[in-house]
Amino acid sequence: MDSADCLALANIVTEMYVARAVSYEPSVAAHVINLSGRQRMLIQKMGKEAVLLRLGVDVSGDVGDLNLSIQLFTHTHISLLEGNMNLGLQATTDHCIVQQMQSVWDLWTSYEILVKTAEQETIKTSVAVLEAIDDEATPLISAMDLAVSFYAAGAGHCTRTYTDVEWQELIAEVSHLGEWSQKLAKELCLISRDIDLSVNVARLANTTQQFSEMLLKVKFGSTPDSLPASPTEAVLRQIFDVSDLWTSFRALVDTDINSAVEAADIVNDVLLLG
């Protein structure tokens, strides 16, 4: 039996436990605990796949496996935060868990660069890269361990303090949400009046994308932008309320708007009557 067979059997057993837990005690966050815990396995699995690439055992197969592992880790992280009904996941609304998941993402960003280097260099991957992957796996797994314990408990514990720069950036970005919501409305109104139709349709698409990205950063934090995750439960829940409204609105503006009439219908339904 190789490691892949062992992993497959372990996954089957885990899914059996999850199914039993859900049927026996629905209040147990079995899916959340399982998927957040699986992230630790994926970290180790990616390290193994990087080593196999260096050994040249099955380069094409291991490249594919590593790529899938990277995608699965990223997808699961986002699903744990934003929720994914197909996976049985609700959105994470505990601000301490969100803060911890931001720490996980920060460590993952560096780890991902290393494993992608191995994916690209395959048998030419340097020993230094493999050692760095091994070194960085430990703090990443530790951070994920803490996140898993928070998910298992249903709440986290955090005592993080914010720097002046972080407060400034957070307040600035949150204030931009109101600004950009009005920019969206303006562009939609201009389209509905057939004013520079193609130009404003392009602007609306760009503003929509930027608003979504900004909302995501405000909701879950973005270290490169000096944005911490939400400081309190109340703030996070308010941001989720904004996000829920935005999801409904985006579903309308994401459709192809090819005429002023189509835009006018949205203006009438959302901006005037909503």
What is the Cα–Cα distance from 67 to 64, expressed in whole angstroms? 5
Q: Is residue 212 part of a domain?
A: yes
Contact 109, 139 (CB under 8 A): no
Q: Is residue 89 part of a domain?
A: yes
- Return the pLDDT at 98: 92
Q: Is residue 2 part of a domain?
A: no
Q: Is residue 88 part of a domain?
A: yes
What is the Cα–Cα distance from 89 to 80, expressed in whole angstroms? 6
* CB atoms near residue 21 (< 10 Å): 17
* CB atoms near residue 206 (< 10 Å): 11
Among 87, 121, 153, where does a domain finish?
Answer: 153
Q: Is residue 1 part of a domain?
A: no
Give the residue among 107, 108, 114, 116 at the shortest CA–CA distance from 67: 116
Write the burial class of residue 30 (CB in 10 Å: 0-12 exposed, 13-18 middle, 19+ buried).
Answer: buried
CATH number of 57's domain? 1.20.120
Domain shared by 114 and 14, yes or no: yes
What total number of domains does the chain contain?
Answer: 2
Helix H or strand E segment including 61: helix 59-82
Helix boundaries (H) for the chain: 3-24, 30-55, 59-82, 95-121, 127-153, 164-192, 197-220, 233-253, 260-266
Domain shared by 138 and 14, yes or no: yes
Domain shared by 180 and 265, yes or no: yes
- Report the helix count and the strand count for the chain, using DSSP H and E: 9, 0
Domain shared by 126 and 184, yes or no: no
Among 119, 153, 187, where does a domain finish?
Answer: 153
Contacts of 192 (CB under 8 A, 6+ apart): 260, 263, 264, 266, 267
Domain shared by 26 and 148, yes or no: yes
Q: Is residue 67 part of a domain?
A: yes
Q: Is residue 180 part of a domain?
A: yes
Domain shared by 260 and 206, yes or no: yes
Domain shared by 149 and 170, yes or no: no
What is the Cα–Cα distance from 141 to 73, expressed in whole angstroms? 12
Domain shared by 239 and 114, yes or no: no
Contact 36, 144 (CB under 8 A): yes
Which residue segment(s) compose the domain that 239 sits in? 164-272
Q: What share of the chain is helix, strand, coil (3-state, %, to 5)?
A: 80, 0, 20
Q: Is residue 81 part of a domain?
A: yes
Domain shared by 123 and 182, yes or no: no
Domain shared by 138 and 181, yes or no: no
Domain shared by 52 and 120, yes or no: yes
Among 153, 184, 219, where does a domain finish?
Answer: 153
Which pLDDT tens digits describe the chain residue by residue (274 residues)?
Answer: 555 654 454 444 334 433 444 444 444 456 788 788 889 999 999 999 999 999 998 999 999 999 999 999 999 999 999 888 888 888 888 889 999 999 999 999 999 999 999 999 999 999 999 999 999 999 999 999 999 889 888 888 888 778 888 888 888 888 888 888 888 888 888 888 888 988 988 998 899 898 898 888 888 988 888 888 888 888 888 888 888 888 888 887 777 777 787 878 777 766 654 4
Contacts of 260 (CB under 8 A, 6+ apart): 191, 192, 193, 194, 197
Domain shared by 190 and 139, yes or no: no
* pTM greater than the 0.85 cutoff: no
